[in-house]
């Protein structure tokens, strides 16, 4: 069966510091991968998605970036965090070529101070 991992679960970072959040999927090949951000009590904002290694599509221009160095690994990064980057970050995957549901990781709660 497929599983999705995210780490860290919780992160507190100072403004201006770098960021690296990691997401990995097990049990499937060539998944479509997604990063979302959820502000407190709000809906999901799509940040990036990837349909293959090295292929990243950005939905929101900001100081975040994403990379997919391996088939089942998706990384969200920032060189310098802003206060507005605080939120709950969710990674998700779906089977490539299928318009079915997404499966979500457990999320990372990021607080920028």
Partner 1 sequence: AQTVTQSQPEMSVQEAETVTLSCTYDTSENNYYLFWYKQPPSRQMILVIRQEAYKQQNATENRFSVNFQKAAKSFSLKISDSQLGDTAMYFCAFTGTSGTYKYIFGTGTRLKVLA
Residues that bind partner 1 (CB under 8 A): 32, 34, 38, 41-44, 46, 49, 51, 57, 59, 88, 90, 92, 99-104, 106-107, 109
11 vs 44 by CB, closer to partner 1: 44
Exposure of 55 by Cβ count < 10 A (0-12 exposed, 13-18 middle, 19+ buried)?
exposed
Q: How far is CA 63 from CA 18, 30, 47, in A?
A: 11, 27, 11
14 vs 43 by CB, closer to partner 1: 43
Minimum CB separation from partner 1 for residue 80, in Å? 26
CB atoms near residue 99 (< 10 Å): 6
The 8-class DSSP code of residue 105 comes to: -
Minimum CB separation from partner 1 for residue 79, in Å? 26
14 vs 100 by CB, closer to partner 1: 100
């Amino acid at each position: 069966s497929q599983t999705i991992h995210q780490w860290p679960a919780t992160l507190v970072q100072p403004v201006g510091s770098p960021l690296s959040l990691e997401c990995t999927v097990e049990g499937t090949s060539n998944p479509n991968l997604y990063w979302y951000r959820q502000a407190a009590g709000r809906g999901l904002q799509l940040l990036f998605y990837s349909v293959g290694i090295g292929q990243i599509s950005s939905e929101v221009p900001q100081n975040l970036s994403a990379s997919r160095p391996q088939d089942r690994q998706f990384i969200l990064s920032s060189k310098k965090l802003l206060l507005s980057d605080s939120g709950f970050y969710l990674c998700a995957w779906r089977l490539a070529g299928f318009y079915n549901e997404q499966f979500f990781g457990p999320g990372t709660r990021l607080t920028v101070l």
